[in-house]
């Protein structure tokens, strides 16, 4: 039972354009969401997060949007850069636990 | 910032063998989590230890076990290895102030 889903395994975007990565979840108890970025041969690194009491969080080129009614969140990267090419994982956290539930990841490729 | 060292980085085993992986939080964090990453399955939670006690466990068979020592170092063990156990095993620690999860670079296990 995949509680966090990333339905697009890959995404290809031209440099300078916007990248939109999507994530859906099924458990309404999740109250904190995170995005991680992973390069080959490295562990995932934290990118940005959002609490369920917000609908948007912005950090530089990265913005995460949360639609609680649709149980959907998205990560926007604008403008996209070749160095953004990596696998992006969304993750969800329920109350009173440190157990992160990850999606299957979306491989983003930004080409010149 | 938390740091996590995992050893070994790469290893090859054959079916039926057992393996022990190590995780050392540099800054002595008391909470250590383990995740398995495989293509198509994303990152799946294995278990979490806090002050030497297992606090959470994922949906993995009993062949997967772990422990944490008084110095916060953690080990995970997989017995009777199967081909499907080939994966990247990641250890993570949580920053107690920000809640951010920091990952090590992982131990890549190949089972032949």
For A5-14, write each residue's pLDDT tens digit.
999 999 999 9
Q: What are the distances in angstroms from CA A76 to CA A45, A56, A82, B56?
A: 17, 11, 15, 32
Closest CA to A32 of A88, A89, A87, A101: A101
User: A43 and B55: CB-CB below 8 Å?
Assistant: no
Under 8 Å CB-to-CB from A69, ≥6 apart: which residues? none
pLDDT score recorded for residue A1:
66
pLDDT score recorded for residue A41:
77
What is the chain A residue with the closest CA to B105? Answer: A43
A 40-99 → B contacts, CB under 8 A: 41-46, 49, 89, 91, 97-99
Task: Read off the pLDDT of residues A52-80 as tens digits, 9 standing for 90 and up.
Answer: 889 999 999 999 999 999 999 999 999 99
User: A34 and B101: CB-CB below 8 Å?
Assistant: yes
pLDDT class of A96 with cuts at 50, 70, 90: low
């Amino acid at each position: 039972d995949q509680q966090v889903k990333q339905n697009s395994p890959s995404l290809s975007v031209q440099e300078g354009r916007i990248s939109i990565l999507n994530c859906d979840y099924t458990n309404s108890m999740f109250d904190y969401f995170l995005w991680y970025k992973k390069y080959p041969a490295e562990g995932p690194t934290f990118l940005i997060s959002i609490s369920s009491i917000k609908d948007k969080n912005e950090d530089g080129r990265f913005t995460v949007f949360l639609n609680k009614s649709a149980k959907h969140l998205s990560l926007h990267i604008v403008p996209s850069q070749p160095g953004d090419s990596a696998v992006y994982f969304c993750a969800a956290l329920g109350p009173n636990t440190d157990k992160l539930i990850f999606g299957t990841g979306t491989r983003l490729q930004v080409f010149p | 910032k938390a740091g996590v060292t995992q050893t070994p980085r790469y290893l090859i085993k054959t079916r039926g063998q057992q393996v022990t992986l190590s995780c050392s939080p540099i800054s002595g964090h008391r909470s250590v989590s383990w995740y398995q990453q495989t293509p198509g399955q994303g990152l799946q939670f294995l278990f979490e230890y806090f002050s030497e006690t297992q606090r959470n466990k994922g949906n993995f068979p009993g062949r997967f076990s772990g422990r944490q020592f008084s110095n916060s170092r953690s080990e995970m063990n997989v017995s009777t290895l199967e081909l499907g156990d080939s994966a990247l095993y990641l250890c993570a620690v949580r920053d107690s102030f920000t809640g951010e999860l920091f990952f090590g670079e992982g131990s890549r296990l190949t089972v032949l």
